[in-house]
Amino acid sequence: VRPHHGCGTRTHRMITKGSIVLAMAGTASAFQMGSSFTPKMGGAELTAVKASSSSGPTMAAVPCGINGFGRIGRLVARIMIKDPETNLLHVNAGSATPDYMAYQFKYDSIHGRFDGTTVVDGDDLVIDGNRIVTTRARDPKDIGWDKTGVEYLCESTGVFLTEESAKAHVDSGVKKVIFSAPAKDDSLTVVMGVNQDEYKGQTNYVSCASCTTNGLAPMVKAINDAFTIEEGLMTTIHAMTATQAVVDSSSRKDWRGGRAASGNIIPSSTGAAKAVAKVIPAVKGKLTGMAFRVPTIDVSVVDLTCKLKKATTYEEICKEIQKRANGDMKGFLGYTDEPLVSTDFQTEATSSTFDAGAGIMLNPTFVKCVAWYDNEWGYSTRVKDLMVHMAKVDAKMAKK
């Protein structure tokens, strides 16, 4: 059973005449995890809760665009469409035709059929009544963001990950570019729920880090705040991704990485643990890690084994994590004491869900903690959240 992600309502002109209807509104099942599983709340449902608890002024929907329509780009689009705080205006998809984009958007092997309507109207997509311009340009200066009013851009091609390379987006009318990957320069890195307050409108280019950094950093923050991490090693058991080969192929850069993802456990490198220091400077030089790529198609899990400065018990760690998951880190850090497995976290919007039953402790200062994350949906939700957060900060700064 998959979780239901709430649907925001907007008033738009529906396109019916001369259109190809590719999807009809579907129904999603309600998801019930159990009282001990704190987060299970995704998409617009989480947004609505945040909006209702916010003391700030109501802001118009953020005018958004997406460059790149791969795994992350498509999921960010799904999340934006259902979120009343975002208005998706324009998607640049490289070479994909509008009808193929609609097909890719509607059907997903992990996250299921899109719960809504998808219509092709010329070069445009009309999704749940929202008209979205699509283009197929390789060079950012040829995309035409200024013509469609895009102000906040999800850069998800994996190509334009520096201020220098992404500047063409800003020159074409975009206000801010959000990288859905680690930056390849010293651009500001933000992990929502951890260091979002560092963004004060000072830059036009912000990285949302990686899915694994988002899966690790919230747990690291909660543990470090309470007990101080002296040193630690992280291992992520990571689902397959599109960069891997289905059957044995070739990779001169990474010989093991060229082997069949569908039939092997493949040791790999990752900079995710070291990257946590970009958002939590207190752990700089204290964390590193590695990855095992495994033959599952979504959901990953981090194993953090660390030495603590402050002696404690495993029960106290669990209590602290649960307190933060129900408090200031709700929606970013989750907690479960149920005996769950990876598929239970498919389409889970929470960045990092601490598994109380999976961790172990050797002594009062040496502990192994485990957290699950949907490396696709959870991360894509954070990309959207970061775009909305930046827009709110920018609006506040503009009033000063």
Task: Give catalytic residues, as residue numbers.
Answer: 211
Q: Which two tokens stand for residue 395?
A: 């609006």
Cβ burial of 253 (10 Å; 0-12, 13-18, 19+) is exposed
Q: Could you please report the per-residue DSSP string of 268-335? A: EE--HHHHHHHH-GGGTTTEEEEEEEES-SS-EEEEEEEEESS---HHHHHHHHHHHHTTTTBTTEEE
Helices (H) and strands (E) in the chain, counts: 9, 18
Q: Which two tokens stand for residue 177?
A: 């570019």
Please name which of 185, 178, 165 lies closest in space to residue 208, comparing C-alpha atoms: 178
Report H helices in the chain: 43-53, 71-81, 98-106, 145-148, 163-171, 211-227, 272-279, 314-325, 377-398
Half-sphere exposure of 138 (CA within 13 A, CB side): 1
Contacts of 362 (CB under 8 A, 6+ apart): none
Question: What is the 8-class DSSP label of residue 28?
Answer: -
Question: What is the 8-class DSSP label of residue 218?
Answer: H
Question: What is the 8-class DSSP label of residue 260?
Answer: B
Neighbours of 222 (CB within 10 A): 27
| 254-280 CB burial, b ≥16 within 10 A, e <16 | eeebbbebeebebeeebebbbbbbbbb
3-state helix, strand, coil in the chain (%, to 5): 30, 25, 45
The whole-angstrom separation of Cα 80 and Cα 86 is 6
320 backbone dihedrals φ, ψ, rounded to 5°: -65, -45
